[in-house]
Chain A
Amino acid sequence: MPSDGDRKPDGEVLVLGVGHSGSRFLMELARLPASRRLRLVGIDTDEESLVGAAGIEVIRIGRGVNRPHGCGGDVSMGQRAAAAAAADFRRVMDGARLVIVCAGLGGGTGTGAAVSLARHARDLGVPSFFMVTVPFAFEGTWKRTQAEEVLPQLREYADSVAAIPNDALFSHCAADIDAGEAFAIADRMIAECVGGMAGMAWADRMLSADFGTIQAVLRRQTGLCRLASGKGSGAGRWTAAVESFLNCPLIGSADSLNEVVDAVICLHVKGPVTITEVSACVARLEKSFGEGVRLSIGVCRVDDADDDVRMTGILCVDSAHASRMTPAAEAAGPSPVSEPVKSPPRHHRGGPLIQEELPIQEYSLGLFANTSPTRYREENLDVPTFQRKGLKLDLGGWKK
């Protein structure tokens, strides 16, 4: 079968790296063979960022708004910079087939510009996929709060958001690994996922799942999405690829696979492929996911890959599992488990906004009036249950 390796899709796949973390992902992505067919654009407020980076266009934002060395973690500064660069954003995204935005949340530029980019992509009708990292637990409550506040807004506009906890990225690194090396590994992991996903756009497909399937999955908008990749070479290439895919730290634990409701997995294979190999691989993958998952598996042939078999998957998680904080953790405040915030209900585009009637209720706290409230699912559990449920107590002959 002839390879269509050089075939270009109708529109380009645009990868935007926003802020310091986004720029690092782009640098790593630029080193991969897959990047040759991608348009890589870095967006940063830092004048020194991405200077001299080959194959990456750079958009400097925030001139006149920020200091020349970035936003210094100030989200409002990032928002102002993004607002001033609206025309640049629209110009670069217009006509793209897909926009993949990589950013680290919690800082100034990435957090401030992410929502703005999502809004422009939606207005232009370009599917957008956001791959964002959530700060480490040790980076403190402030950064985490900044990240968690922006996630619901991002989900409102983006087609899909993969929020990856930084803590998860490093779970497989040795505890004594050099910090620089650990970050490089994490950046490479994300870059490989992005490269693999974008590669589906032009690969020579042998089995169904194509780029349209990915777009359809992204459009279903389950709110939480994970990316994973795996690779294998040599004799046991298929087994190695499947195992490394299933153990990818970006997925979380093995239990996380049970929460997946929609999955598109694409296998990029170099060289000849036998039906036996593919069916064994598909059977192993199906076994790993929970029952009822909509699994689309595609096999593509690529000639310019580094590895014999490379797997990339987009896994959409049931919204019921989107928030996995324990009740105690909710009461205690932000948890060190980097889990995404549950997205708010989306408004229908262009539909009327109706303000629901808000009932006025009288609540009593009694003994717990001066304590920290016990909150669970936006309810204050210190308020008597019967009051919250609106139950009237039948006090018999007394107080009728």
Chain B
Amino acid sequence: MRAKKTNTIYTGIEIGSGSIKVVMGEFDEGDIIRVAGLADVPSMRVLKGEITDNDIVHEQLVQALNRAEKMAKRDVKDVYLAINTGTMASVNSIGACPASGPNQTIAPKDVAHALSNARAYVLPPDKTEVNTIDRRLLLDGHREVVNPVHQVAKKVAADIHLMYGRYNSIENACLLVERTMGYSALDACFSIVAAAFAVLSKEDMAQGTLVVDIGAGTTNYILFHGIGVFHSGQVTVGTDHIANDLAIGLEIPMVKARGIVKTLDRFGASAVMTPDGDERPVKIAVPGMKTRTIPASVIELVAEERLKELFDIILEDLNRQSALPRMPNGVMLTGGGALIKGVDELAHRVFQLPVRAGIPRDVFCIDDVASSPAFATPIGLLRWAKFLEKIEDGEKKTVTDKILQDVTTFFGKLFGGLRNALRW
């Protein structure tokens, strides 16, 4: 059961492979996030989303929290954690229930029972659930509807999307936060869910938008469509892989390679290769080594091959799920990888859909730092927290939310938690 929030300021923590980010913020009228404190500390002992040294990461997290507190001039009290371990995966589960309403119509309790049956999916003992979100509601096995209640049908089927990861990795991240704060996080959610909450409007979610979060160690993706999440996934490849490829190919230190990836545009290069031979020479200066000159197109080739492969893997997975027709709104790129010059053009070539940078919406921050795609996850955590609070407070009073209330009450009894039945 989630602990109760104690103040109005929300704090989101993301322990990533590239950096540890902390964002403290409040909600103004009109759902605008006013960022009070923000910190971004380079991460030293996280590889492909896995914490390799708890003590070092603990120190860095303390550093990040102190910086954010100093900027906000307030103490961090309630925190929300983004789960970004390199062990995340997803599965869909369907549960059905025959109509029990008058004249063979679907009653609210039928939907609740169908959801309950879908949720009866048992994960292997070494895995644990992070988020479960509705995927589709089907009448008679094939007709997708938003609200099945009072519809004439023989049965209703609830298709849910379950995001899970390895228990040990997730618990390790949660315990690290608990050790640092002295209390556990109020809630933890899969980082891509948070990132999507930051950049997508309700319309984007309903119409179908793919969000791809390119981090340093992992790339996560999620497709929101209709009533919830149609598909999500993770590839444990990120911008660190581009840097590693460059370090190996150009025989330069990893630090230098990371710098090149971050500032491709400064070298006149991008993620899309222009085959122009030696026409754009780039000087590579490494302390203790002789300065060399290499063609910019070589750097582009390495970056393009890696990113294209990454997008191809995502596209293949989406194809397997027959998901492409469900993303007319195109693709949004978030995370540090979204800042690489030309990455949007490359993604457009692969997906053949409109691609744009996922900039956190409705955020006010003094120096506009929080409006970067790199901050989508911690900003999204604040929206996620607010979203959970709204459900608990029962603010939503539409017809579908009334069903949700019934369903959440049902789930509340069954599982003791509200996050088990999320709809918007």
> Which A residues fall within an 8 A CB radius of B?
136-138, 140-141, 144, 167, 170-175, 243, 246-247, 253-255, 258, 288, 321, 324, 326-329, 331-332, 334-337, 364, 366-368, 371-372, 374, 376, 381-382, 384-387, 389, 391, 393-398
Known: A328-B236, A332-B166. A254 touches B141 (CB 8 A): yes
Known: A138-B123, A335-B91. A371 touches B278 (CB 8 A): no
Residue B14 lies at the interface, judged by CB distance under 8 Å to chain A: no
Question: Closest approach, in angstroms, between the C-beta of A382 and any C-beta of chain B?
Answer: 7
Known: A371-B50, A397-B293, A398-B294. A326 touches B90 (CB 8 A): yes
In contact, B322 and A138 (Cβ under 8 angstroms): no
List 8 A-B pairs, Cβ < 8 Å: A137-B124, A174-B116, A247-B140, A331-B235, A371-B48, A374-B86, A385-B306, A385-B309
> Which B residues fall within an 8 A CB radius of A?
47-48, 50, 86-97, 113, 116-127, 138, 140-142, 154-155, 157, 159, 164-166, 233-237, 240-241, 243-245, 247-250, 254, 277-278, 281, 292-295, 297-298, 301-302, 305-306, 309, 313-314, 317, 320-322
In contact, B298 and A395 (Cβ under 8 angstroms): yes
Could you say which residues of chain A place their CB within 8 Å of the CB of B235? 327-328, 331, 374, 376, 381
Closest 3 CB pairs of A and B: A328-B234, A384-B245, A138-B122
Report which residue of A140, A144, A253 has the largest number of chain B beta carbons within 10 angstroms of its beta carbon.
Answer: A253
Expressed in whole angstroms, the Cα–Cα distance for A51 and B87 within the complex equals: 47
Known: A138-B125, A171-B95, A175-B119. A364 touches B298 (CB 8 A): no
Could you say which residues of chain A place their CB within 8 Å of the CB of B124? 137-138, 140-141, 144, 334, 336
Instruction: Report the number of A-B residue pairs with Cβ-Cβ less than 8 Å.
Output: 183
Question: Closest approach, in angstroms, between the C-beta of B408 and any C-beta of chain A?
Answer: 17
In contact, B254 and A367 (Cβ under 8 angstroms): yes
Could you say which residues of chain B place their CB within 8 Å of the CB of A175? 95, 116-117, 119-120
Known: A255-B322, A385-B306. A328 touches B237 (CB 8 A): no
> 8 other contacts beyond A170-B120, A376-B235, with CB at 8 A cut-off?
A175-B116, A328-B234, A331-B235, A368-B244, A371-B50, A372-B48, A395-B250, A397-B293
Could you say which residues of chain B place their CB within 8 Å of the CB of A371? 47-48, 50
Could you say which residues of chain B place their CB within 8 Å of the CB of A332? 87-89, 165-166
In contact, B123 and A386 (Cβ under 8 angstroms): no
Could you say which residues of chain B place their CB within 8 Å of the CB of A391? 301, 305
Which of A144, A321, A336 interacts with B127 by CB under 8 Å?
A336
Which of B89, B281, B298 interacts with A328 by CB under 8 Å?
B89
Question: Closest approach, in angstroms, between the C-beta of A3 and any C-beta of chain B?
Answer: 32
Which of B121, B241, B281, B320 interacts with A382 by CB under 8 Å?
B241
Closest to B306 in A: A385
Expressed in whole angstroms, the Cα–Cα distance for A55 and B249 within the complex equals: 70
In contact, B248 and A396 (Cβ under 8 angstroms): no
Question: Closest approach, in angstroms, between the C-beta of A328 and any C-beta of chain B?
Answer: 4
Interface of A is mostly: loop
Which of B50, B240, B292, B298 interacts with A367 by CB under 8 Å?
B240
Which of B48, B154, B302, B313 interacts with A376 by CB under 8 Å?
B313
Known: A246-B141, A367-B240. A386 touches B119 (CB 8 A): no
In contact, A368 and B94 (Cβ under 8 angstroms): no
In contact, A137 and B298 (Cβ under 8 angstroms): no
Report which residue of A138, A288, A385, A386 has the largest number of chain B beta carbons within 10 angstroms of its beta carbon.
Answer: A385
Expressed in whole angstroms, the Cα–Cα distance for A246 and B245 within the complex equals: 48
Question: Closest approach, in angstroms, between the C-beta of A394 and any C-beta of chain B?
Answer: 6
Report which residue of A167, A175, A243, A364 has the largest number of chain B beta carbons within 10 angstroms of its beta carbon.
Answer: A175
In contact, A367 and B47 (Cβ under 8 angstroms): yes
Expressed in whole angstroms, the Cα–Cα distance for A376 and B97 within the complex equals: 37
Could you say which residues of chain A place their CB within 8 Å of the CB of B317? 326-327
Which of B122, B165, B301 interacts with A137 by CB under 8 Å?
B122
Expressed in whole angstroms, the Cα–Cα distance for A167 and B243 within the complex equals: 42
In contact, A398 and B292 (Cβ under 8 angstroms): yes
In contact, A366 and B119 (Cβ under 8 angstroms): no
In contact, A394 and B95 (Cβ under 8 angstroms): no
Report which residue of B119, B124, B297, B305 has the largest number of chain A beta carbons within 10 angstroms of its beta carbon.
Answer: B124
In contact, B47 and A253 (Cβ under 8 angstroms): no
Could you say which residues of chain A place their CB within 8 Å of the CB of B313? 327, 376
Which of A140, A174, A381 interacts with B125 by CB under 8 Å?
A140
Expressed in whole angstroms, the Cα–Cα distance for A389 and B249 within the complex equals: 13
In contact, A253 and B159 (Cβ under 8 angstroms): yes
Could you say which residues of chain B place their CB within 8 Å of the CB of A328? 87-90, 233-236
Expressed in whole angstroms, the Cα–Cα distance for A379 and B239 within the complex equals: 19
In contact, B123 and A137 (Cβ under 8 angstroms): yes
Could you say which residues of chain A place their CB within 8 Å of the CB of B142? 246, 254, 288
Expressed in whole angstroms, the Cα–Cα distance for A167 and B295 within the complex equals: 55
Could you say which residues of chain B place their CB within 8 Å of the CB of A366? 244, 247-248, 254
In contact, A386 and B127 (Cβ under 8 angstroms): no
Question: Closest approach, in angstroms, between the C-beta of B245 and any C-beta of chain A?
Answer: 4
Question: Closest approach, in angstroms, between the C-beta of B95 and any C-beta of chain A?
Answer: 6
Could you say which residues of chain B place their CB within 8 Å of the CB of A396? 277-278, 281, 293-295, 298
In contact, A327 and B233 (Cβ under 8 angstroms): yes
Which of B113, B159, B237 interacts with A374 by CB under 8 Å?
B237
Expressed in whole angstroms, the Cα–Cα distance for A385 and B245 within the complex equals: 7
In contact, A243 and B249 (Cβ under 8 angstroms): no
In contact, A394 and B298 (Cβ under 8 angstroms): yes
Closest to A387 in B: B248
Expressed in whole angstroms, the Cα–Cα distance for A300 and B118 within the complex equals: 36
In contact, A335 and B89 (Cβ under 8 angstroms): yes
Could you say which residues of chain A place their CB within 8 Å of the CB of B249? 384, 386-387, 393
Expressed in whole angstroms, the Cα–Cα distance for A397 and B281 within the complex equals: 10
Expressed in whole angstroms, the Cα–Cα distance for A371 and B166 within the complex equals: 16
Known: A327-B235, A385-B309. A336 touches B91 (CB 8 A): yes
Closest to B297 in A: A394
Expressed in whole angstroms, the Cα–Cα distance for A397 and B278 within the complex equals: 8
Could you say which residues of chain B place their CB within 8 Å of the CB of A321? 320
Question: Closest approach, in angstroms, between the C-beta of A290 and any C-beta of chain B?
Answer: 9
Expressed in whole angstroms, the Cα–Cα distance for A335 and B89 within the complex equals: 8
In contact, B237 and A254 (Cβ under 8 angstroms): no
Expressed in whole angstroms, the Cα–Cα distance for A140 and B248 within the complex equals: 39
Could you say which residues of chain B place their CB within 8 Å of the CB of A367? 47, 240, 243-244, 247, 254
Could you say which residues of chain A place their CB within 8 Å of the CB of B254? 366-367
Could you say which residues of chain B place their CB within 8 Å of the CB of A137? 121-124
In contact, B126 and A141 (Cβ under 8 angstroms): yes
Could you say which residues of chain B place their CB within 8 Å of the CB of A334? 124
Question: Closest approach, in angstroms, between the C-beta of A91 and any C-beta of chain B?
Answer: 41
Question: Closest approach, in angstroms, between the C-beta of B258 and any C-beta of chain A?
Answer: 10
In contact, A172 and B96 (Cβ under 8 angstroms): yes
Could you say which residues of chain B place their CB within 8 Å of the CB of A337? 91
Report which residue of A254, A321, A335 has the largest number of chain B beta carbons within 10 angstroms of its beta carbon.
Answer: A254
Expressed in whole angstroms, the Cα–Cα distance for A398 and B322 within the complex equals: 47
Question: Closest approach, in angstroms, between the C-beta of A160 and any C-beta of chain B?
Answer: 22
Known: A243-B140, A331-B236. A171 touches B93 (CB 8 A): yes
